[in-house]
């Protein structure tokens, strides 16, 4: 065999081994309410962030010398957002039961001493606009400012929020939070706020999993269930009574809070620097009764 043929044969074997390794990569673990309920099925989507056309960015306008940076590099999406909020929407819609999984890091490197904190690993999934689902990409309706998203439909989860001093809160909500410009009752879970082990570790990669399966919703980080709800659970609901914000308890069910079966996924952040990689979206399949 000539050296050239030997090289080609070795290259072919390496390529086959690489493809085989990728195809047999372990699927995400099923945790909490998911056990004995669903299994992780086919991979619906995966990206190395080389296709920039798949993303729509809504960046909050600020009169500030600090400038945002959006970069696709080294297999990552790198978002640098001093003094402003941003939502990065994946333009591919997903239907039915899914799990979104990705890795994210909050580096503390700054440019020119900008106001960067390790904060706000936030997520939107199965989201849509009010009148038309693709209105979610309308920059006039949803402009990067957090308050503009209160009227959309979908799910929200957040680690490391907390006003101007971040990395204090960890939350889950079902949107909308407002209808016709007025506050609207919505599931609002916050009992993980301020707890050690449920906040961001600056400079380290975190693995996030977002689940929706026939009304069961989960927010998982680093293999730990942060929040999960299913039909029959008692949940806290934020509402307004006599003009005052009030939190009450209700039973979660499909009549009062119908689950969303389709929509779009987005990264959400504010006044921070995030790097995202290894984004994969999976189909979830029901576990057959024994």
Overall residue count recorded for the chain in this entry: 290
Answer whether residue 120 is part of any domain.
yes
Q: What is the CATH number of the domain that holds 282?
A: 2.60.120.560
Residue 90, CB half-sphere, CA atoms under 13 Å: how many?
Answer: 25
Answer whether residue 34 is part of any domain.
no
Number of domains comprising the chain: 1
Answer whether residue 9 is part of any domain.
no
Provide the b/e sequence for 220-234 (b: ≥16 CB within 10 Å).
bbeeeebbbbbeeee
What's the pLDDT at 242?
85
What's the pLDDT at 289?
55
Degrees (nearest 5) of the Cα angle 284, 287, 290? 175
Answer whether residue 176 is part of any domain.
yes
Q: pLDDT digit of tens for each residue in the chain (290 aa)?
A: 554 444 344 443 433 343 344 445 789 999 999 999 999 999 999 999 999 999 999 999 999 999 999 999 999 999 999 999 999 999 999 999 999 999 999 999 898 889 899 999 999 999 999 999 999 999 999 999 999 999 999 999 999 999 888 999 999 999 999 999 999 999 999 999 999 999 999 999 999 999 999 999 999 999 999 999 999 999 999 999 888 999 999 999 999 999 999 999 999 999 999 999 999 999 999 997 54
pTM metric for this prediction: 0.90
């Amino acid at each position: 065999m000539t050296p050239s043929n030997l090289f080609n044969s070795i290259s072919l074997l390496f390529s086959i081994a690489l493809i085989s390794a990728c195809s047999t990569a372990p699927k995400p673990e099923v945790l909490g309410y998911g056990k004995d309920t669903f299994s992780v099925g086919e991979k619906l989507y995966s990206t190395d962030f080389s296709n920039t056309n798949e993303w729509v960015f809504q960046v909050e306008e600020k009169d500030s010398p600090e400038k945002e940076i959006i970069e696709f590099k080294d297999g990552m999406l790198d978002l640098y957002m001093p003094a402003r909020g941003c939502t990065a929407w994946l333009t591919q819609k997903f239907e039915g039961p899914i799990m979104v999984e990705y890795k994210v890091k909050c580096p503390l490197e700054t440019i020119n001493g900008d106001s960067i904190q390790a904060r706000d690993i936030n997520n939107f999934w199965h989201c849509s606009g009010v009148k038309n689902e693709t209105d979610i990409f309308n920059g006039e309706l949803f402009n990067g400012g957090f308050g503009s998203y209160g009227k959309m439909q979908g799910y929200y989860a957040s680690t490391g929020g907390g006003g101007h001093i971040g990395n204090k809160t960890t939350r889950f909500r079902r949107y909308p939070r407002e209808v016709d410009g007025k506050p609207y009752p919505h599931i609002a879970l916050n009992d993980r706020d301020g707890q050690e082990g449920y906040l961001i570790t600056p400079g380290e990669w975190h693995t996030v999993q977002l689940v929706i399966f026939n009304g069961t919703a989960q927010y998982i980080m680093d293999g730990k269930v942060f929040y999960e709800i299913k039909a029959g659970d008692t949940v806290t609901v934020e509402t307004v009574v006599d003009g005052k914000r009030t939190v009450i308890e209700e039973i979660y069910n499909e009549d009062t809070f119908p689950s969303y079966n389709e929509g779009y996924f987005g990264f959400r952040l504010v006044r921070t620097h995030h790097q995202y990689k290894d984004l994969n979206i999976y189909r979830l399949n029901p576990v057959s009764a024994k």
